[in-house]
Amino acid sequence: MSSIIRTENLSYTYLASTPWETKALKNINLEINRGEILGLVGPTGSGKTTLALHFNGLLIPSTGKVFIDNIDISRSDVDKKKIRQKVGMIFQYPEHQLFEETVFDDIAFGPRNLKLPENEVNKRVQEAMELMNLEFDTYKNRSPFSLSGGEMRRVALAGVLAMKPEVLVMDEPTAGLDPGGREELLGKIDDFCRNKGLTVIIISHGMEEIASLADRVIILDEGEIIASGTPREIFLQERWLKEHHLGIPDYTRLMFLLNLRGIKARTDIITIEEAKEEIMRIWS
């Protein structure tokens, strides 16, 4: 499998050569495969968002390199605009970035900035709205500010998808959503990523969503990668995670608690579906 993002000895220092100098990243070597869903987790201040901001050139390494499709994006002759079309970013609470009068115009903003013909803009908006389960005729003329929180989040996401990125970076995509909105959004993310072969990087404190979506998990702490593996490999290390101030999915914790009470249960459970099956097996 080929990599679409690669870092070599990537380090980044905020406010270098000042009394407030902070080394946010230290010698990060990482490959992200095309079509992979990667979970990026770690304690607050571990460097997750700083690392993600390097993936489309919003930050340039203090030392080291970042490659997108084998292009060193820190070079001065690289077109950063093209890189940012390839790598789309969804920041926390993206609905705060909505500003147009209609849903259509908000989603169309990016494609129009690419100077695309209006018929192509219309096509991209419709496709993105369909991906996000926003029925075109129902929503296109509505004000985005009249929508629910979950709907606004999906409009913001559709605006990035309309740019047709190859990589999507999402920082806490379900933050602030109620359980229903969270479940709906995660389902849509999983569907379109798998169907479109999109490479996705999810930064999250929500271990349940990382467990259910990610193919691989990277853990950062104090600017360094301290662990990498599948969700099952990572979340089985309950004691180690606790030592690094990280949690495990609630379903996994439940299995550990059952074992502590003398009820023999599998401890490699990481999704609610697996937990349901195991509980049914135990009490059948």
Per-residue pLDDT tens over the stretch 2-22: 899 999 999 999 999 999 999
| CA 159 – CA 88 distance, rounded (Å) | 10
Tell me how far apart the alpha carbons of residues 278 and 266 are, in angstroms, rounded to a whole number.
7
- Tokens standing for residue 64: 């080291």
Q: Residue 1: what pLDDT?
A: 64
Q: What is the mean pLDDT of residues 55-76?
A: 93
Pick the CATH number of 3-248 from 3.40.50.300, 3.40.50.620, 3.90.180.10, 3.90.1170.40: 3.40.50.300
Q: What is the torsional sign of CA 247, 233, 208, 277?
A: negative
d(Cα 190, Cα 212) in Å, to the nearest integer?
A: 9
Q: What would the pLDDT profile of 146-199 be if each residue is shown by its tens digit?
A: 998 888 888 998 999 999 999 999 988 888 777 777 787 788 777 777 777 889
pTM of the model: 0.89
Q: Is 52 left (phi over 0), alpha (psi -120 to 50) or beta?
A: alpha
Structure tokens at 113: 């900035």
Nearest-angstrom CA–CA distance, 102 and 96: 15
